[in-house]
Every structure is written in structure tokens, then in C-alpha cells.
A and B are shown apart, each in its own frame.
Chain A
Amino acid sequence: MDALLAPLLQGREIAAVVIGASAGGVNALLEILPPLPKAYPYPIVTVLHVMKGRQNQLAEVFQQRLAIRVQDAGDKDELRPGTLYFAPAGYHLSVEDGGVLSLSQEEPVHFARPAIDITMASAADVYGPSLVGILLTGANQDGAAGLAAIGAAGGLTVVQDPAEAQVAVMPNEAIRLRQPDLVLTLQEIRSLLLKLENK
């Protein structure tokens, strides 16, 4: 991976990481996030589709396992480094100019609200090449267009290897729509996130 990674990171300032996941996403996130140190230099914005009613416990469950701070995204929250944000149930989550979060209740996208597409596309607008987008396991088409928007804006795009993903639909859809910079296993994504720290 390192040989592939070096040119991708060359000269790239990183401002934020956005992660999208659906079916199998909780386990996947728990594979990649625990090693991150408390002083991790970037905010991580996460959209995870979960069953109705389960969303409210996400932050709590993850905080018990992670060193970085974990919280539900609140309207007009300013993104802080070393913090993992979850999109709250029933709302789309956008990143606004200046790294401020906003919530909205427009129509669901691909039956999803929060939709990964919306968070990723809005963050791509704000951060351009300074954004890292990661799409993990899922049974839904959501996220493919969002990750493509990150790629089009010059950001670094990463898709979980469909061969390893618990559900391959979402990674496959993303790869089909626009070739990502990297297709990696969870183990590799885990070390990628740590490498970004020393950028």
C-alpha cells in the first residue's frame, strides 16, 4: 500500500475525513477506529445507516471503545480535531463553509436519511483535495455518488475491498461509478488513518 499511497499524499494538506457505511458498518468501524489517538489531528464525520431506534446509542457505544471524542452531530457545531461525529437519525448532515455542520430534513436519498451522498458531497465542496472519503460495507447505493463527488473535487477516495466487505453492494457501486484512488481491506484502512496522522 505504501508505494501507492506516497504519491497520493504528496503535497496534500488534510482537513477532514468522511466515512460512510451501512449494513455491517458498526463492526467495520470498530475495526478501523480504535487505534486512533486522542489527539488525532482531524475531525471524522461518519454517516452510518442503522435500524430505527438504534441510532441514539451509537455515540455511547463507540465512546466506550475509542480514545477520540465521539458525539452526535449537532446543528451548527464547529468541527473539532480528534472528534468522531455521527449523523443523527432522521436528518441529513452537511458540512458548510468554515467546517460548520448543519442538519436538514429534505427527502431521503436512496431511501436513506441521513444519506452518505449528502454529507460527502457537501464536504467535498468545502474541502476539495483536503478531504479523505472512505466508503465501507453496505447493501445500498447510497455513498457512491458522494464518494465520486469527493474524487471529482480532488479529494482522496478509499473504498473497502468488496471481497472482504460484509455486504459488497455499496463498495461495488462506488467502484463502478468512479474508480477510487484506493481499494483497501479494513486492516489497510486502519493503518492508512494512522499514517494520515503523521502527514
Chain B
Amino acid sequence: MHHRPLHSDTDIELRMLMEAIYLKYSYDFRDYTGASQKRRVLHAMREMGCETISQLQSRVLHEPAAFSELLQFLTIPVTEMFRDPTYYAALREHVMPVLSTYPSLKIWVAGCSTGEEVYSLAILLKEEGLLERSIIYATDINPESLEKAKKGVFPLDSMRAYTENYQASGGKRAFSDYYTAAYNAALFDRSLAENVTFADHSLATDTVFAETHFISCRNVMIYFKKKLQERALGLFHESLCHRGFLGLGSKESIDFSAYGPRFEPIVKRERVFRKL
């Protein structure tokens, strides 16, 4: 046999691992993009002391704790408060004035990770006088991330960068008004999270749970293959009310999606769209 095999051993093992996880735990990573998933699984394999992905699969199948451990490697908790300040500036200028015309608001932060963007949005809503009439659904597939998000405690040494982001986004107050510093942590004002519901939700396997006015889902769909991206966009389209808003990550696009023509760009550069 001299031909190149269709799939490398690693690719075969990866697919079998994802299938096992789906069958056993109902987490569906089968349509995540291959290259970054492979890097994360290989990293987890080494960190968890396994020689091969097959060995990792065996552990994950027989020890639920090993799956929880692997889940922390499979999801990417890279986020900041007011990440891409120009995105928040665009929301402030173009989205908030329209949202303020509704008597009550439902907002969905899909793939909220450890919550930095949730608190950023809550601050923005508060400054625009909309927080009290808003319900924010903050969803993620990683229970550990959701627990962190609920606490609203972030490392104090991130605050300098977050303050710069906040100011660049058009923040109206001193950023330190929103948190209390204790030891090495910044504890965010509880009132910000009062109307936030943190919940386990998967864009790969769950359905729409509410009609919303605005959905922010940033740097989540880059980890999805096209098929899964389409599923997620379908959920967003279904959830959004007539003329509802959708905000995506700075390099994400709906141009090549079947849902592309069903949204209009509001601020193209910042990936803010509106349902047609």
C-alpha cells in the first residue's frame, strides 16, 4: 500500500472520541472545526497523561470526571470585558436607541464563557437606562465557565486593560464604580447581574427558548463548521423578534450563509446586523 490513507490515525481517533462524547454525555462537538479541535485534544491528552487519543477516549467513557476535565480543554475561555471597544461603541450608538423604544427587553449572550461580555453589556444597558427593563440570558455549554460567570469576580490585574477598553467604547463613568477590589479580585456590582439568567444551552443540540430583541454571539461560531454555523444562525433568526439585532465577532460573517439575505448589516465593520 503506497497511497496516502484517506484519514490519519489521529483524525480517526478524534472522530471516534467526539462520537463517544456525544453518545455518552450528549455534548456535540462533531461539527466543530477540525484543526483547533485537534490541537486542543492533543493538548488535553498530554495534560491528562494519556499516550493516545484512544486512551483518552477510554478514560472519558468510563470516568465522568475525566470528561469534565476534558471539557475545560475543549472550550476556549478567551474573552475580555469590552473586547473590541468599537463593537460596544457601535451598540451604544446604533442599537441602544432602538432598544430603548421597547417597554421590556430580552437579550441573549450566546456562548458567554466566563461572563466578561455579559457584565460589559449590563454596564452598557445600565448607562443607557435600559438595564432595569432587560432580561439577559447568558448561555454556555461549560458549567464551570457558567459558575465563574455567575460570581462576577475577575482578576484585578485585568482591570487596567478593561478600563482602557471601557473608555474606548464610550464609557460614561469611572470603570472602578462598577466593582469592589478585594485581594487580587474585582467583584462586580451584584445589581448588574440581577436580571441575568445564566443557563446551560448548546447551539449544537438545543432549541430556541425565548423571543429576543438582541443577540450577541462573538467568537463562538468560528469554532463551528459551516453546517453547525448554519444551525446556530437558524436559532438566532428564529429567536430574534422582527427587526431584532445580531452582533458577531470581528472576523465572523454571514455573507455566505443561507441566512445572509435575511439580515441587513447595520454597522458592517463591527458585525452588527438586523433581522429583515
**Stretch in A41-49, A62-70, A92-100 touching the partner:** A92-100
CB-based nearest B residue for A113: B78
B252 A96 Cβ-Cβ under 8 A? no
Cβ distance A13 to chain B, nearest Cβ, rounded Å: 12
Extra 20 A-B pairs, beta carbons < 8 Å, given A94-B33, A96-B35, A102-B35: A74-B251, A75-B222, A75-B251, A76-B229, A76-B253, A76-B256, A88-B251, A91-B222, A94-B35, A96-B33, A102-B33, A104-B35, A104-B222, A104-B223, A105-B76, A106-B40, A118-B35, A118-B39, A125-B8, A125-B35
Chain B residues near A118 (CB, 8 Å)?
A: 35, 39
Across the interface, do B36 and A104 meet the contact criterion of CB distance under 8 Å? Answer: yes
Contact of A102 with B36 at beta-carbon distance under 8 Å, contacts A75-B252, A75-B253 already known: yes
A128–B4 contact, CB under 8 A? yes
Q: Which residues of B contact A (CB under 8 A)?
A: 4, 8, 33-36, 38-40, 76, 78, 219, 221-223, 226, 229, 251-253, 256
**Measured between alpha carbons, how far is A107 from B253 in the docked complex, in Å?**
23
Please, how many angstroms separate the alpha-carbon atoms of A97 and B32 in the complex? 12
Across the two chains, which residue of chain B brings its CB closest to A76? B226
Contacts of B252 in A (CB 8 A): 75
Contact A95:B35 (CB < 8 A) given known A75-B253, A88-B251 = yes
Question: Contact mask A103-137 → B, CB, 8 Å, 1/0?
Answer: 11111000000000010001001001000000000
Q: How far is the CA of A191 from the CA of B261 in the complex (A)?
A: 44
Q: List 30 A-B contacts (CB under 8 A).
A: A74-B253, A75-B222, A75-B253, A76-B229, A76-B253, A76-B256, A88-B251, A91-B222, A92-B36, A94-B35, A95-B35, A96-B34, A102-B33, A102-B222, A103-B251, A104-B33, A104-B76, A104-B222, A104-B223, A105-B76, A105-B222, A106-B39, A106-B40, A106-B76, A107-B78, A118-B35, A118-B39, A125-B8, A125-B38, A128-B4
A104→B252 CA distance, assembly (Å) = 11
> Digit string of A48-68 for contact with B (CB within 8 Å is 1, else 0)?
000000000000000000000
Report the Cα distance A125→B34, complex, angstroms: 11
Q: Which residues of B contact A76 (CB under 8 A)?
A: 226, 229, 253, 256
Task: Tell me if A's interface is mostly helix, strand, loop or mixed.
Answer: mixed
Question: In the complex, A94 Cα to B222 Cα: how many Å?
Answer: 11
Find out whether the CB atom of B219 lies under 8 angstroms from the CB atom of A105.
yes
How long is the Cα–Cα vector from A119 to B223 in the complex, in angstroms? Answer: 15
Give the distance to chain B from A188, nearest Cβ to Cβ, in Å: 30
A94:B36 contact, CB within 8 angstroms = yes
Q: Which residue of A lies closest to B77 (CB)?
A: A105
Closest to A72 in B: B251
Q: Within 8 Å CB of B221, what residues of A?
A: 75
Inside 8 A of B34's CB, which chain A residues have their CB? Answer: 96-97
Which of A74, A97, A106, A128 is the one whose CB lies under 8 Å from B36? A106
User: In the assembled complex, which residues on chain B have CB atoms less than 8 Å from the CB atom of A96?
Assistant: 33-35
- Complex Cα distance, B76 from A103, in Å, reads 13
Q: Which residue of A lies closest to B252 (CB)?
A: A75
Residue among A75, A94, A107, A125 with the highest chain B CB neighbour number at 10 A: A75
Tell me which residues across on chain B come within 8 A of A122, comparing CB atoms.
Answer: 35
Minimum distance in angstroms from A16 CB to a CB of chain B: 14
The closest CB in chain A to the CB of B226 belongs to: A76
Residues in A neighbouring B223, C-beta threshold 8 A = 104
CA distance A170 to B252 in the complex (A): 31
Could you tell me the distance in whole angstroms from the C-beta of B41 to the nearest C-beta in chain A? 12
For the complex, give the distance between the alpha carbons of A118 and B40 in Å.
12
Inter-chain contacts of A102 with B (CB < 8 A): 33, 35-36, 222
**Measured CA separation A102–B222 after assembly (Å):** 7
Q: How far is the CA of A97 from the CA of B226 in the complex (A)?
A: 12
Inter-chain CA distance A103–B39, complex, in Å, is 13
